[in-house]
Amino acid sequence: MKQTNRDDFRVVITPRRLGDFGWMSMSDRMASSDPERDIRERCEEIAAEVKRHVDNVGSVEVLFTETHTCSHCGYVWEVLTADEAANPANCQDEHSVEGEPVCCDAAIAEFRTQRGIPAVQAEAPAWVGATELASDREITAVAATGIVGYQQNQGRLLHCLAHKPAPASRYADFHEVEADDLDDGGICVYHDCGRDLLAAWPTTAVPEEPAP
């Protein structure tokens, strides 16, 4: 017979987002020049207040989730494992080794330069960037469905509706997102766009094509 026991009870405190002002909301990156620093300071302030004013507290600590991304392209940091490097299908060329990045050409070039490995000669398939939508009419049609932009499948990069990412490799695929998918908001990273994905697009009815 199953018996359920509960122990190790704790209180979890989640800080309010930097961009949450109660009466309005924006992405944390719009509200702060350094969101990581500022949200950590907010957590440490909360922890200090709990220690000072709350009784029966065993311990208080600030915890966080750590992720690794590429400084060149911003994608999730992934490298070849020993098994993957042994399989030519996973490699750029015969010089690929364990630990070589797989996200972008710049990271691979930097890795090889630091270790004296010959540079990749043949141009490898890579993400070709974003394809701008043909017209405001198409943007309006997509916005009317509730979609606010596109998010990288294996990372955090975001594109607005004006910069729909082209199909690419498994390391650079994007998917459609709605406002509810972006708890912290988001900014389009395509070149100098910087558009807030939660900012409203015109959603007027799309005119029908004239009859031939």
Residue 4 pLDDT > 90: no
**pLDDT of 143:** 84
pLDDT in tens, 102-145: 888 889 999 999 999 999 885 544 444 555 664 777 888 888 88
**pLDDT of 206:** 45
**pLDDT of 168:** 54
pLDDT in tens, 66-104: 888 888 888 888 899 999 888 888 888 889 999 999 888
Q: Report the distance separating Cα 4 and Cα 63, nearest Å.
A: 28
Domain map of the chain by residue range? Answer: 11-66, 70-125, 127-206
Residues 6+ away with beta carbon under 8 Å from 204:
140
State whether the Cα torsion 89-120-106-168 is positive or negative.
negative
CB burial of 146-165 (b: ≥16 within 10 Å; e: otherwise) equals: ebbbbbbeebebbbbbbbbb
pLDDT in tens, 135-178: 777 888 888 888 888 888 766 788 888 887 776 544 457 788 88
Side-chain half-sphere of 116: how many Cα atoms within 13 Å?
0
pTM over the 0.75 mark = no
Q: Report the distance separating Cα 155 and Cα 176, nearest Å.
A: 14
DSSP the chain: --------------PPPTTB-SS-B--HHHH-S-HHHHHHHHHHHHHHHHHHH-SS------------B-TTT-SB--B--HHHHTSGGG-SSTT--TT-B-S-HHHHHHHHHHHTPPPP-SPPP----EEE-S-HHHHHHHHTTTEEEEEETTS--EEETTEEEPP--TTS-EEEEEGGG-TT--B--STT---BTTSPPP-PPPPPPPP-
pLDDT range class, residue 207, cuts 50, 70, 90? very low
Q: What is the mean pLDDT of the chain?
A: 81
